Amino acid sequence: MTTTAGAIAIRPGEHACFRFQRQEERERIADAFMCVGLRLGHRVVYLCESRDVDATLLRLTAAEPDVASALRTGALEVRDANTVYLDGRSFDVERMIAALRAEHRRALADGFAGLSVTGDVVSALGAAEAEALVEYERRLDEEFGDATQVLLCQYDQHRFETGTLVEMTEAHHVEVSPPLATLDPTGALAAARVHPPETLRLAGDLDFENVAGLLDYLDANVHGPLRVDLADVAFADVAGMRALRGSRHQQLTIADASEPVRRLVGLLGWDTDPGVLVAA
């Protein structure tokens, strides 16, 4: 495979976030998001700090074969977050939301199926008060739900107070912070934390090759009943499914499932297993 980016457990219409500590994590998740956006036929706006624009362009062009043509057609824009969001003025929640709406209209007018935006929030809004940022994220979560737009906010963990991070994360109902989005080193399987209700969403291939990271994650983080959403699992095998029971065989609720998963649920006899609840 020539691409480095893999699956990402974010759906159209969602406002998601991730917190990162290392640059590699951030690039991996943002790149996967970009590839998914391009596949959806969206315009992808990739925001970064002004000094990083050129480096990001170089990196993306080298890593992804489609990037050069996407840049030519306007399907991908790598831009300085400051000019998009702030335009030289101070931070204002309403103006930011208006700017995003305008971007969305422009993408649709240009013939794209939608708009996918990802950006490092602090580089764009560095000057803003933490409280205003939280307010902004809450408004975004309320305002944007249209299936033709996807937002992925990036938070550099070193640049925020922990208390602010807690509130920011809560303002997004989808979170793909590492190790969720990076569960599998090959990128074939990715996860997201969706709430409420607290659900682990998986996307990609859930099979024997990719489950090691999932098993580790479940071991470390899940000590009670587990609720999963498997609607975005494109392929599954028995090893992948059994991994969901974890080493503790916890109660499992399957909130949603794709066709391959449903078939395996039947083959495994989980539809009559008292330890597994499969929602209709």
Partner 1 sequence: MNGSPAHHNLFFYGDDGSLVDQVVPFLSEGLANHEAVVIVLDPRKTALVRDALGRIGRRVASIDRDGYYTRPEDALAGYDAQVRRYLKDGAPRVRVFGELPLCRTNEDSDTWILYEALLNPAFAHHPVTIVCGLDGREQPDRVVEGSWRTHPTAAPTPCGAARSPPARRAWGLGGRDRLSRAAATSSGLLAGSSPTGRTAIATALRSRRCATTARASTICARRLAACSPGRRPTKTSRPTSAPSSSASMSGGGEASPRTGSN
Query: Encoding tokens for residue 186?
Result: 């090959």
The residue whose two tokens read 């095998």 is: 237
- 272 lies in the site for partner 1, by CB under 8 A: no
One of 198, 216, 259, 271 touching partner 1 (CB under 8 A) = 198
One of 94, 247, 272, 274 touching partner 1 (CB under 8 A) = 247
Phi, psi (5° rounding) for residue 172? -110, 130
3-state helix, strand, coil in the chain (%, to 5): 45, 25, 30
Binding mask of the shown chain, residues 149 to 168, with x at each position contacting partner 1 by CB under 8 A: ------------xxx-xxx-
The residue whose two tokens read 């990609």 is: 204
**Which of 83, 6, 2 is closest to 45 using CA atoms?**
83
> In b/e form, how buried is each residue of 154-169, taking b as 16+ CB within 10 angstroms?
bbbeeebeeebbebbb
- Determine the Cα–Cα distance for residues 278 and 268; give it in Å rounded to an integer: 13
What is the smallest separation between the CB atom of 129 and partner 1, expressed in angstroms? 13
One of 56, 154, 169, 182 touching partner 1 (CB under 8 A) = 169
One of 248, 263, 268, 271 touching partner 1 (CB under 8 A) = 248
| Cβ closest to partner 1, residue 88 vs residue 196 | 196
- Determine the Cα–Cα distance for residues 10 and 203; give it in Å rounded to an integer: 8
- 224 lies in the site for partner 1, by CB under 8 A: yes
Interface with partner 1 by CB under 8 A: which range of 21-29, 104-112, 142-150, 215-223?
A: 215-223
Interface with partner 1 by CB under 8 A: which range of 9-17, 35-43, 102-110, 236-244?
A: 236-244
Strand partners, 204: 189, 233
User: Which H/E stretch holds residue 271?
Assistant: none
One of 53, 57, 215, 231 touching partner 1 (CB under 8 A) = 215
| Cβ closest to partner 1, residue 88 vs residue 274 | 274
Residues of this chain that bind partner 1 (CB under 8 A): 19, 161-163, 165-167, 169, 193, 198, 211, 215, 219-225, 239, 242-243, 245, 247-249
